[in-house]
Chains A and B, each alone.
Chain A
Amino acid sequence: MSTRIIRRSPSTLPVLRAIVALLFMVGATSYLLDASEPPKTTNKPTPTTVSALLEAAHHSVVSIAVEREKGSDVELPLLESRLRDEESKAFFSRPDGYVTGLLLDSDGYVLTSNYNVYGKLVSIRVTLANGKSFGAKLVARSVRDDIALLKIERDEGEAALNAPTIRWAAVNSVRAGQIVFALGRSPDPSRPTVTKGIVSTVKRNGGRAVQTDAELNYGNVGGPLINLNGAIVALSCFVGHNQPQWGVNSGVGFGTTAATIERLLPRLKEGNDIKPALLGVLWDRKERDTGTGIERVVDDSPAAKAGLRAGDILLALDGETLRNFDHLRRLVLNCFGGQKVRVKVQRGEKILEVEATLGERS
């Protein structure tokens, strides 16, 4: 064990690995609640104790067993070809066992981290808080927000799900320093887990995710982060996209915000995977105080169709003044394909405004 001085930022891969690492080690159970009671669906008064708060919230937390084609969650082709023995391959696959999700409503929609359902799926089985278990199908996902929507499949005439009502935290109410509980239902579907922490910051992933120091490990990722009022602040996620290997929790975890989920949910329910939007301009790599210059417009791209040209300087998107190209990219990525945006452009001495219909990235 050598002494290390971390002098500078690790390169990107170790950073991602460290983030993946944030979340490992099963067994961070600090509270075990008895969830054998069936969920009560009536409007109950606001819980006045921590355990009542958690117990109420736990009725919406489900356990998910995912069966996938072996090795299909490993997307490191170079690495994979080098990994001959099964042990090494297992290291680069997702751990086995139950993962966590959130039951949204009595229609049977369940939200979880895309990480949990990555790969070629064979079957998904969802176990509710009351112990009933159902088959489920993947409806749609958003890779960049690391969330996936599942739907429970039920036979005609089967009893209603009776999902408890979910409360989302108000969009602007989330602040760094707020106390949150990460709820999970793993490794045992019958017993929930809770870990406690604070919101570390609300500005991650372009404002679509919060960071938390609550212990997130393989198993409780995909479950909700709830606040002291029992409202859902975020769905824990971002454990490393296509990097399935798992590390130790470091106290840096993430959750896709309630606001983002509410925005994406209608599209996800329609079965549309959410893909990053595309404008189709290339940066001229010149630093400016404000705005961003265009070196080239991709043929047939939304930008080309809107009449943008090489040499244009983009000043604002939908009224928001552009600081630089990264800022433009972030704003575009926060849009959906098909969405119309207004672009303020400086062309020579003229200032004009054009409308572009954004496309989708593959």
Chain B
Amino acid sequence: MIRNRSVMLLVVVAVVLRATQHGLLGEERERSTAVEAQTSAADSSDVEQVELQRLRRLQKLLTQTIEGAKESFVFIPGGSGFIVDESGYVLTNEHVVAGSLDPENTTNLVKEVTLYLRGGTKLTADVVGHNPDGDLALLKIRKPPPNLRALPLGDSASTKVGQPVIALGDPFLVGSREIFLVDPDPSYEPAASFGIVSALHRYSEAYTDAIQVDAAVNPGNSGGPLLTLDGKVIGINGKIENPFGVGINHGIGYAIPSNQVKRFLDPLKEANGGIVRHGTIHGIVVSARRQNHVRGLPVDKVIPGSAADRLGFRVGDLILSVAGRDVPTKNRYEGIVAAFPAGSEVAVRYSREEKEREITVTLLEDGRAYLGIDPAPFKAGSDGVKIARLLEGTPAQKAGLRAGDVIVNVDGFDIGTTKDLVEALNARRPGERVPFTLAREGQPVMITVMLGRKPSSPPKGPAKNE
């Protein structure tokens, strides 16, 4: 399983080369012209001369781009990052930021990190947004120096396989900590490695729509930029395949594409130190089987009452594209949907009975919806689910539900047993507002509950006002 063979890295972002004026296409064109001109001579040394000239031109681009990009590089303990905005915003991987957490206590979010600019200027930054499922984190430098230089985010959609890329980072942290036995003064100088885009739209755990590169990225590169030869960020390096368990690069690295990063940037800025969740089209189960001879990905199941059900999806629909991108497999479908934050609107194109349709879907937060009650034990003949106790700070308590209330209906679905309630909640996503009908002291009461996200550790003790 590919999933189990990969390693997150503290890695760098590489830039995608746009095949424009000084891009490679221009060079390739020039080269092929030169090659054609020499064909009659049939002398391979002429081709080699062109190769040497090409390398010299490439070298010029590499040195210029690396020189410029280094200024925006940031050392974060355990990894890399880069300045994305002169006002002091820094992008990195969530797993770099989380690196300063006590491994025993991963339920808390890191609030601030120390970082170093090139040359060793030490700064403190607040973590303004976490995106753990997509491995992104946005930092804001508290007292940004006036001369910060940002790296521009490029258009990862224009990335091509074979395009040359530069990964900038601090592999093995050799630039930010002492690794040579007798030299105690780290240089705080990032390292560049060079390679090409090996593949696009790779799916590997949290990296659901990743750019695969063969430039050397290693532990320490995580959070650093993947740059094009013209110095634009097309990805954030963060993960490598690890087939032999050695945890170092062997030519397969993954970067989060810059367009995904752009989509999360504003939500991260507004997250106020919280978590930005990924989106999902809730209630749709697509076929996991490889589809031969069928155009589109069949919908195998639609959960009753779910968002997909309400949007009108039916079993047997063939999903053709999401956000304009083909989804031939379950991985592609889930990978593309997961590359958007919750709340995004995406166009979904599907076919039913030979007719193509397109609808706009607002993505719901992924994860399971959470109410936060302890139901009373089931009694034969009872109608509805009685709340035995409410937990502190849960959605149920915030909405005003009380111990002793009996839940009889959730958004039109009658609730007879706890099983009915669980099914009704499973059809929903965190953040959805759902009307509940309760029996309170024999009287019906309507309350709208904003469902939450199940906490990783359950809240302790009953609510105090009960």
CB distance from A44 to the nearest CB of B (A): 15
Stretch at the interface among A34-42, A45-53, A312-320: A45-53
Name the residue among B9, B63, B172 with the largest chain A CB count within 10 angstroms. B172
Question: Taking the nearest CB of chain A, how far is it from the CB of B291, in angstroms?
Answer: 28
CB B155 to nearest CB in A, in angstroms, measures 23
Q: Are B181 and A252 in contact (CB under 8 A)?
A: no
Which of these, A179, A203, A250, A251, contacts B189 with CB under 8 Å? A203
Q: Select the stretch in A13-21, A158-166, A344-352 that faces chain B.
A: A13-21
- Chain A residues near B9 (CB-CB < 8 A): 6
How far is A262 from B64 in the complex, measured between Cα atoms in Å?
28
**Which of the listed residues B56, B64, B66, B180 has the most CB atoms from chain A within 10 Å of its own CB?**
B180
For residue B214, which residue of chain A has the nearest CB? A251
**A252/B174 in contact, CB under 8 A:** yes
A1-42 contacts to B, CB under 8 A, are 1-10, 12, 15-16, 18-19, 21-22
Contact in complex: B172, A252 (CB < 8 Å): yes
Say yes or no: is B77 at the interface (Cβ < 8 Å to chain A). yes
A90 on the B face (CB < 8 A): no
The residue in chain A whose Cβ has the minimal distance to the Cβ of B1 is: A1
With both beta carbons as reference points, the residue of chain A lying nearest to B220 in the complex is identified as A9
User: Which chain A residue lies CB-closest to B170?
Assistant: A9
Given contacts A18-B248, A251-B193, contact A178 B172 (CB under 8 A): no
Q: Which of A115-123, A130-138, A194-202, A300-308 contacts B (4 or more CB under 8 A)?
A: A194-202
Question: Once the chains bind, are A205 and B180 in contact (CB under 8 Å)?
Answer: yes
Q: Closest residue of chain A to B219, judged by CB?
A: A6
> For residue B183, which residue of chain A has the nearest CB?
A206
Q: Does B267 contact A (CB under 8 A)?
A: no
CA distance A51 to B65 in the complex (A): 27
How many Cβ-Cβ contacts under 8 Å join chain A to chain B? 202
**In the complex the two chains form, is B62's CB within 8 Å of A177's CB?**
yes
Do A6 and B222 have beta carbons less than 8 Å apart?
yes
Question: Is there a chain B Cβ closer than 8 Å to A175's Cβ?
Answer: yes
Residue A186 is within 8 A (CB to CB) of chain B in the complex? no
Q: Which residue of B lies closest to A211 (CB)?
A: B191
Q: Contact at A201–B55, with CB atoms within 8 Å?
A: no
B193 partner residues in chain A, CB cutoff 8 A: 197-198, 200, 213, 251
Q: At the interface, yes or no: B21 with Cβ under 8 Å from chain A?
A: no
The minimal Cβ–Cβ distance linking B366 to chain A, given in whole angstroms, is: 20
Give the interface size bracket for B toward A. Answer: 35 or more
Q: Does A330 contact B (CB under 8 A)?
A: yes
| Residue contact A15 to B4, C-beta cutoff 8 Å | no
Interchain CA distance A252-B220 in the complex, whole Å: 11
B451 to chain A, nearest CB (A): 29
Q: Tell me, rounded to whole Å, the shortest Cβ–Cβ distance linking B294 to chain A.
A: 32
B residues near A233, Cβ cutoff 8 Å: none
A250 touches B191 (CB 8 A): no
**Interface size (A, Cβ < 8 Å)?**
57
Residues on B with C-beta less than 8 A from A209 are 180
Check A330 against B185 for contact (C-beta < 8 Å): yes
Q: How far is the CA of A12 from the CA of B7 in the complex (A)?
A: 20
Q: Nearest Cβ in chain B — how far from A112, in angstroms?
A: 19
Residues of A within 8 A of B218 (CB): 18, 250-252
| B246 pairs with A21, CB closer than 8 A | yes
Nearest CB to that of B66 among chain A residues?
A: A177
Interface membership of B182, Cβ < 8 A = yes
Complex formed: what's the CA distance from A176 to B103 in Å? Answer: 36
- Decide if A248 touches B248 in the complex (CB within 8 Å): yes
CA distance A51 to B50 in the complex (A): 12
Q: Which of B357-373 contact A (CB under 8 A)?
A: none
Q: What residues of chain A lie closer than 8 Å to B194, measured between beta carbons?
A: 177, 197-198, 213
- Given the interface pairs A6-B7, A213-B193, the reply to whether A248 lies near B250 with Cβ below 8 Å is yes
Instruction: Answer whether A238 and B63 are a contact pair too, CB < 8 Å, given A6-B8, A7-B78, A252-B191.
Output: no
- Known: A197-B194, A198-B62, A250-B249. Is A8-B99 also a contact (CB below 8 A)? yes
A-B contact pairs, 27 of them (CB 8 A): A1-B4, A1-B244, A6-B10, A6-B95, A7-B78, A8-B10, A8-B99, A12-B179, A15-B174, A18-B218, A19-B174, A19-B179, A53-B52, A176-B63, A176-B67, A176-B192, A177-B65, A177-B166, A179-B59, A201-B189, A204-B180, A211-B191, A248-B248, A251-B216, A252-B172, A327-B185, A333-B182
Closest 3 CB pairs between A and B?
A251-B216, A177-B62, A49-B48
Question: Which residues of A line the B interface, CB within 8 A?
Answer: 1-10, 12, 15-16, 18-19, 21-22, 48-53, 143-144, 175-179, 197-198, 200-207, 209, 211, 213, 228, 238, 241, 247-248, 250-252, 276, 326-327, 329-330, 333
Q: Known pairs A48-B49, A49-B52. 12 more at Cβ < 8 A?
A: A5-B8, A6-B78, A9-B177, A12-B179, A15-B174, A50-B48, A144-B181, A200-B193, A213-B215, A228-B59, A251-B249, A252-B191
